[in-house]
Structure 1
């Protein structure tokens, strides 16, 4: 154990450094920390000792892990010296409450800063939305990429030209620090994106490489001809086949081919170079010292390159993430990592830690499959595929949590596994095609208004853009209602009003699944007021070729005010429903992320069922994914540990509706959370 074998006993003249830390590094670290009081120096030394083994194990891909580790500790000491007193206090509190991000009161919100704040106010304007966030129960705010990007095009801000500066139109690093401090005072943790895989062509490292600096040339994958790139291309996938085919770009200034997985202006970093690792450690600690509490590790799956593979999810990715996390823990235990890895179930769990990396990698990971399966159930009115696919996820460490979401800034790729589809007697490719057609409105009877993004004619796959409300058919229903109100036909108005009701119910059902799954449910900005697709998304020249901007609208403050004042409107009902979900969720210990969500096969395929088992008792969640009333037998509910007649629906505080034979009755798109009273 670290406190037995690698730590010297502290005395008034010595600090408890790990024995393997070289003496020369130890001396430099102690000189750096000399201005601090003794208790601060001791705390840092204890943290280094605690995380040293994890750091070295994670650095195993490099030839000399101990040398790189010593460099990391020296960087950490400098960052620790610069850390503000209020952040040291936050570190101590989080060390005593390591499950802070797993608790059921955690609800997240994600937005582009300039589209959340009042126009022209930048980071300073985010604080003006604090009351709005509090009403929604938000404790975690993810502001989409705001570090300085290259000029447009910049992949929505993910082509970072400077990790240490904020976009000029949003403000300064000092304003970011002040915003983080303000949010922290209100119990809200700030999450920012950190793009790990690549930098913009204009980044200083890339500029130095283009100028011929040998040190910085080694920060990138550069080849004099197509020989090596062509060998890699045999097994690589294309991320954006429509507007960024291939994975390498010829650069005249470099006089070579540079690896560019995403776009020609985004240069992949050479993570096999330990200098790149140390640079990114320094960036992470810099952002942590500005008050960032969660870092979304963007494009993390692509870090390590290996010939003959897809160069995604290689074992070294998890090792290096463990090392990054260990370095961050030495300085800022309040900081946690979120892996942006949109991969299959058997791969994504590794980003939370499996095997020897158990619980040592990222603290959070996106549950992309849950989003996909919710939309699949709503289109097919069938829960069997979701029950099977979500049920085969391997267990994740009890100290980690999923990020769950109904929508995000990105498109929806129909990640339906062929084996999962076969298990429930459907064809994977045909179901993916159905979902694309359904949510683009091409399927007969569909009221969805999604936009096709990056269609692949070879496979027939097509990803979909669109807001949650538009995909749920609310836009079409409201248009229909407005048309029949002009005509004055009472029956037609009744049918149209029912369509609006059902669209609202679909949105709230989807979010009920998200809020009930555990982890941190994240609300995408605009969904709280049932925002529809932005019809003017293409008017910004930079956005004209990227229809994902249709579901990235500015927050409509007038709609927020309407939702508050008119709870009977579609926006008002969605707003009130989300507030209620957050309030109920916060009071249910069953929804602590350490308790796993288990899917169970429902007797009625139109009902999706989830069980959560917690020491206070079980919780059974039932979701009617159809527009028709459904029932599940009372005996079946009892076998899951919750006799219906002895339970209450936590969403409304009343016993569930029972039929004459004791079955639980669910109305159109109704969610039910059964617990013991």
Structure 2
């Protein structure tokens, strides 16, 4: 139990957050409502003395129904796939929104307190949480137009009548930044007449108004429910858009950061060991602000990695990837990055702004189009449309280079995943990367939504056949990727907080050095980013001759540290001293 002094300190801290958000409200009443919600009964939570992450951590990102079987709840099918194929190689699972929804494959939530009947039940969520550290989405910015809250809004009833952000005809919205080109405001008839509600993403996703403390309290109730069912990582979806003020960009406003700090404060107190992740698909310098002063997100997404890594593999040019790596600060103590190369969305291009020139981006876009990908746009503050993301299966995005398709798809793809596995932070693998899934043209044609191209639903029986046939891309990629994840999990130099330095090898190579926190182990991560054999001079690595060096991926040793070795197309080396 916390001491009275600790309780007083927490109360004062929480009061400070509430005062910053709601200076005109009854602050003591709001704080009392928060503590009352979390003080009722014990919560299952990790031990506060257990390290938040280690080299053994790796996450799988999946929809609840990425694998389906006849007459079986998809969450049950997913649990069986995890037990049979993943086992304990991967430590954490991110199940994308699993609540009832009306659009955007789950991100237009109808009811946060229920599991979608088409996926399963709460007990299915808990069963997965019993075996893996479970991450769930907290879709805080908006809610479905079909939700009870918004239906109440249209009828002037609470809860809901005062829960949605409205704009007036005279508001200055010229600076608003958002990731869509659709109209921002949705005319809506209410008992008080026509109102215009804010829709950052779509007219089915209505933005909530966090200026009303009741909205905040409702989401704290959702958090508590999720904790009760075993969720240990919360992903704050689209958090950067949370607070709105006409006349501003309505992005990353100070109140938004205050909300994140408040959530962190509550979780640290009532569920210590729970991890908070912010999802902000924006340029790197903006993304980094969500670490706060080590008092906001524990983890932020490394959004710039995917477009820069894909660009490097498509062009064979590592200049931009190296430049970004050298500019990345180590994560603050107690924080880290989530590294990913593919997700349920596309390859975000906004995080590449200022890092890749317009010409470099255009070259990359044309290659992705040739490989069957699609392009999604956003509307800038000046009203112009800009590329927002590339919609494509990562496996197909790497079926060739800017010069066209070739025979190196699997090797190139494995190189992309191996780079991710070696970097500072926690790696996160999208299920369709693990399964080498190609573009889902049928799904795209069925829904008409570009993102459907990378949201395939595997038939369970067919997938099992593919994985049991060693000649298929599914078996080749999945088995080798899981093997590399397993090797990674045993190396202290791959601890998320271990030291990292970018190496300045010749252009075809992308390389970096990791060193364990106790300095007992070093790993040189070398990647040939081209379809040509490249020569690596071991002397360029300055390997200490007193150590025995070996490549962890092939288990081959290096006895002559002055020799040059031939690195095959897209080959990766993890040269370690122990």
The verdict on how the C-alpha distance between 1:301 and 1:395 changes in structure 2, with shifts beyond 3 A counting, is same
Check if 1:237 corresponds to 2:151.
Answer: no
* Equivalent in the alignment of 1:399: 334
Q: Structure 1 CA distance, aligned partners of 2:210 and 2:82?
A: 39
Structure 1 unaligned regions, length at least 5: 1-9, 19-45, 422-427, 442-447, 481-495
Could you say what secondary structure the match of 1:620 adopts? strand
Decide which of 392, 397, 400 is 1:466's aligned counterpart.
Answer: 392
The residue number in structure 2 matching 1:635 is 539
Summarize deviations over 1:528-570 as a string: whole Å, max 9, x none. Answer: 2311112211454xx22x1211111113545643454333443
Whether 1:182 and 2:182 are equivalent positions in the alignment is: no
Larger radius of gyration: 1
- The answer (yes or no) to whether the contact 2:444–2:451 under 8 Å persists in 1 is no
Q: Which has the higher helix share?
A: 1
What is the CA–CA distance in structure 1 between the aligned matches of 2:26 and 2:219, rounded to whole Å?
A: 17
The TM-score normalised by the length of structure 2 is 0.90
1:522 matches 2:428: yes
Report matched runs for 1:105-504 at 5 Å: 105-119=56-70, 120-135=72-87, 137-150=89-102, 154-171=103-120, 175-176=121-122, 178-186=123-131, 188-213=132-157, 216-223=160-167, 225-228=168-171, 231-232=172-173, 234-241=174-181, 244=182, 246-253=183-190, 255-353=194-292, 358-415=293-350, 417=352, 419-421=354-356, 428-441=357-370, 448-454=371-377, 461=387, 463-473=389-399, 499-500=406-407, 502-504=408-410
Per the alignment, do residues 181 and 155 of structure 1 end up closer, same or farther by CA in structure 2, a change over 3 Å counting? closer
2: CA distance between counterparts of 1:377 and 1:78? 49
Q: Distance in 1 between the 2:547 and 2:280 partners?
A: 43
Give, in angstroms, the shift of residue 317 of structure 1: 1.6
Which residue of 2 is the match for residue 571 of structure 1? 474
Q: Tell me, yes or no, if the aligned pair for 1:54 and 1:322 is still in contact at 8 Å.
A: no
Separation in structure 1 between the aligned mates of residue 274 and residue 208 of structure 2, nearest angstrom? 24
Q: Find the aligned partners of 1:94 and 1:349 in 2 and give their Cα distance.
A: 28
User: What's 1:505 paired with?
Assistant: 411
In 1: Cα distance, 2:80 partner to 2:458 partner: 13
Separation in structure 2 between the aligned mates of residue 53 and residue 138 of structure 1, nearest angstrom: 39
Deviation at 1:125, TM superposition (A): 3.0
Structure 1 residue 381: Cα displacement = 0.2
Structure 2 CA distance, aligned partners of 1:512 and 1:314? 36
Contact (CA 8 Å) 1:149, 1:161: kept in 2 or not?
A: yes
SS at match of 1:507: helix
Going from structure 1 to structure 2, the CA distance change for 1:581 and 1:181 (only over 3 Å counts) comes to same
In structure 2, what is the Cα distance between the partners aligned to 1:636 and 1:568? 37
Aligned pair 1:98/2:60, yes or no? no
Q: Confirm whether residue 601 of structure 1 aligns to residue 524 of structure 2.
A: no
CA distance in 2, matches of 1:382, 1:474: 14
In 2, Cα distance between the equivalents of 1:514 and 1:69?
Answer: 46
